[in-house]
Amino acid sequence: MFSAGLLNAQTYSLITTTETYSNLANPVSLNNGQVWEMPDYIIPIGFDFWYFHSTVDTLFFFETAPAMLSTSDEEGGFHKIIIPFGASLVDRGYGTAHSLSPLSYELTGDIGNRIFKMEWKNVGFLFELLVNNTLNDFVNFQLWLYEASGNIEIHYGPSQILNPDYAYADESGPSVTLIPDYDYDMDTISTKSLWLQGNPLYPSMVESDDFFYLNGSILPNTVYQFNNLTVENAGFNIEVPVVYPNPVVDILNIRLKNVINPATVIICDMTGRKVYNASINPDQVGDMQIPVSDLTNGIYLLIIKQGKEIHTSRFIKA
């Protein structure tokens, strides 16, 4: 299932899809078995990641909120924030000596095509603990940051939310948000902040300094992909390519226009591993044909790079 949303002059576009959720294969623990309530860990991305017109290489838990990541740990100034699952979360091992909700990350892929993955595993809900003194409900999710494209993905895994009023503090659902600027001193957010709203199966994206929430819980195996549409100080000379067929069995066609400098086509699998790399000459006309019959069935990331310009899209090998 796929759906897409796009705002004019937008920094990111939204694609909603489904993909089988998997725990991180080789995670690096942040809490190292310690029970957390207000985590205060430093999270190295492992590469320079482009986010709203600047690059960052480290993330922090914003004011020790478990589901809000910031590009700054300062108590003041401006913060860029990512909220993959806006709810008050807590370690399900709270009140014991051992964590039941690991916070961890890993870095996959080759240099230039790496993916940073942050995982919240088996996390509980704080208001359920405060009201009922139980931690029965839980959620699993991951944040993925792509080095090559600047794309952001949020993957959602198994969950149990029997008490949504406690989970979402009487809101209609969780918030999923990209905030380009939060003014700590004025306690205001940018009007360019991006929020998901509506049905979690096919949400729409709204740009606002108001707060928006999804209507209900996010189903397991849901993926929200935020495609980076701009690069700092770069005007796009490559017109948006037409990629077909999708899904594809044997030959993937790419219809290109206005290639004025040598460009590169890269295909990566969802681990960040590069499976195809070819150059495009400025004088090339017509469709570029890429044989994909030897690829394993699944979802792939198509990246077209021309200098600092990057266009990304997905296709399915069937």
Same domain, yes or no, for 215 and 283? no
What average pLDDT does range 31-52 have in this prediction? 93
pLDDT digits (tens, 9 = 90+) for 292-306: 999 999 888 888 877
What is the distance between the alpha carbons of residues 301 and 165, in angstroms, rounded to a whole number?
37
Same domain, yes or no, for 56 and 91? yes
Same domain, yes or no, for 152 and 181? yes
Q: Does residue 101 carry a pLDDT above 70?
A: yes
Domain tally for the chain?
Answer: 2
292: domain CATH number? 2.60.40.3080
Distance, C-alpha 130 to centroid of its chain: 30
State whether residue 93 is helix, strand or coil. coil
Q: Does residue 170 carry a pLDDT above 90?
A: no
Q: Please work out, in degrees rounded to the nearest 5, the angle formed at the alpha carbon of residue 165 by the alpha carbons of 164 and 166.
A: 90
Same domain, yes or no, for 248 and 149? no
DSSP 8-state class, residue 175: E
Query: Over the Cα atoms of the chain, what is R_g?
Result: 20
Task: pLDDT band for 62, please (50, 70, 90 cuts).
Answer: confident
Same domain, yes or no, for 20 and 66? yes
What is the distance between the alpha carbons of residues 94 and 22, in angstroms, rounded to a whole number?
25
So what's the pLDDT on residue 54? Answer: 84
Residue 237, domain member (yes or no): no
b/e for 152-191, b at 16 or more Cβ within 10 A? bbbbbbebebebbebbbeebebbbbbbbbbbebeeeebbe
Q: Does residue 105 carry a pLDDT above 60?
A: yes
When comparing pLDDT for 228 and 272, which is higher? 228
Residue 236, domain member (yes or no): no
Residue 78, domain member (yes or no): yes
Same domain, yes or no, for 84 and 193? yes
Same domain, yes or no, for 203 and 273? no
Domain boundaries, position 159? 3-228
Q: Which H or E run includes 166? A: helix 164-167
Same domain, yes or no, for 214 and 265? no
Same domain, yes or no, for 218 and 247? no
Residue 233, domain member (yes or no): no
Same domain, yes or no, for 167 and 199? yes
Residue 313, domain member (yes or no): yes
Same domain, yes or no, for 135 and 212? yes
Say how many C-beta atoms besides its own lie within 10 A of residue 271's C-beta: 11
Of 159, 193, 228, the position where a domain reaches its end is: 228
Same domain, yes or no, for 164 and 197? yes
The pTM assigned to this predicted structure is: 0.75
Residue 234, domain member (yes or no): no
pLDDT digits (tens, 9 = 90+) for 107-158: 999 888 899 999 999 999 999 999 999 999 999 999 999 988 889 999 999 9
